[in-house]
Amino acid sequence: MFDKLLRKIKKIIPRHAWNLLWPVYHFLLAWLGNMLYGAPSQRLIVIGVTGTTGKTTSTYLIAKVLRSAGFKVGFTSTAMFSDGDKDWLNDKKMTMPGRFFAFKMLKKMVSNGCQFAIVETTSEGIVQYRHRFINYDTLVFTGLYPEHIESHGSFENYKEAKGMLFAHLKDCKTKYADEHRLVKKVETGLKKLSLNRIKKTIIANADDEHADYFLNFWSEDKILYYVNSTPAIKYPESSVLTTADINITNAGTDFVVKHNQVETAINLQILGGFNIHNAYNAISVGLAHGLSWSQIKVGLEGVTGIPGRLEKIAAGQDFMVMVDYAFEPNAVEKLYDTVKLIPHQKIIHVLGSTGGGRDTSRRAILGKIAGSSADIVIITNEDPYDDDPQLIIDQVSLGAEKSGKEEEVNLFKIMDRRAAIAKAFSLAGSGDVVLITGKGSEQAICLAKGVKEPWDDRTVAREELAKLQK
């Protein structure tokens, strides 16, 4: 109700006045949401996950590890929401929804008896103050590379937006929890003696060149992990995790974690060597909150798949179908690193690119990567918003053509996304791999004037595969 009222007010305010009022509007909206729902983050151990890549998978793995250890966990992420009692696919087309939704979710987690809340926190959400009035306890930095440049104006602005979240940690009130990790209200110093103080902690991917920027913000504890590089002694007071014996296969990834003279072997059953970093985020959170190595190991090794992330779609066909969220160049390149480990004949790639003011420069780059790596490329509609969908398709196709693909031979431009998926299946033979990227488990295609067409790549893929069996 309040959100609708505020949207109406926004429509009648002149644009120039709105530009001046914008920061105040968002700040007050965050404050109001927190007040309306009784400051719910004060009664949960809150873990914030941010970075350019790996946020959703890290959030999922953290939740699985904590739940495996016996804790009740809620979360908000690009792929899914959970109030602790039930999980459901994100139907908001927004990683960090409006403030009222976020605080409502946190309130529901409290009501459902959750000990932990995991909040995938985006740069767009941060600049709109959606992180304010959320009392974070642990912040996780997954890594950073150029993305959202058009909305932020520059990479430095994007980086600084992320930094606002880490600066916020110093203002977050200390919490105390009982032996079950339930946060308790503390009114006297004597009561504190019987409870566990939740330390404010920063966890960082130390392989990333921007890690130091985030680690230099205040925290009581720091946990650093290295997968691909040699540890640098910059934070002697921190906990440091290193990696050995990495073995990446078409069935998963094995690696050994080294920490304080202890070595623990981990067997991830999810595809992609890049998921080692995501696993370390879950490992680090587990260590920060008192889990044993055996609890962490059991939790991680029990994960066999993540919705819309390298998700295999099987319906009796003799070729492999994989749906993945990868929508920007870095993620698509990592995807191909994984796919090339899988025995295959041809690779057929269905992809597009988004509109709505997103980074237009990546369109041709996406086409070039697909054109260089796949045998057959099919360019289709994704999320055009108010942009011309045919123009987007043509721009992506241009990159594929520069990589040597020829239209109507091994390059196809098909506007209708269902028809594009069906075309890929019709061209697939035994032992081939069909990749469908850009949307993962998203539940809608975003069209002009705010229209959302219900959609799920995984459902459509299953429907089109079923037709082949008839």
Q: What is the mean pLDDT of the chain?
A: 91
DSSP output for 444-469: EEE-GGG-EEE--HHHHHHHHHHHHH
Of the pLDDT bands very low, low, confident and very high (cuts 50, 70, 90), residue 17 is low
Of the pLDDT bands very low, low, confident and very high (cuts 50, 70, 90), residue 194 is confident
pLDDT at 31: 85
Nearest alpha-carbon partner for 397 in 413, 376, 415: 413
Q: What are phi and psi of 393, to 5 degrees?
A: -60, -45
pLDDT at 80: 95
449 φψ region: left (φ > 0), alpha (ψ -120 to 50), beta (else)? left
Place of tokens 């932020």: 152
The string of pLDDT tens digits covering residues 378-392 is 999 999 999 999 999
- pTM strictly above 0.85: yes
Q: What is the CATH number of domain 2-301?
A: 3.40.1190.10
The string of pLDDT tens digits covering residues 303-318 is 999 999 999 999 999 9
Q: Is 156 exposed, middle or buried (0-12, 13-18, 19+ CB in 10 A)?
A: exposed
Q: What are phi and psi of 261, to 5 degrees?
A: 70, 5
The string of pLDDT tens digits covering residues 309-345 is 999 999 999 999 999 999 999 999 999 999 999 999 9
Q: What is the CATH number of domain 311-469?
A: 3.90.190.20
pLDDT at 186: 82
Kindly list the domain boundaries of the chain, sorted by start residue: 2-301, 311-469
Chain Cα centroid distance, residue 165: 16
Of the pLDDT bands very low, low, confident and very high (cuts 50, 70, 90), residue 284 is very high
Fold match between domain 2-301 and domain 311-469: no
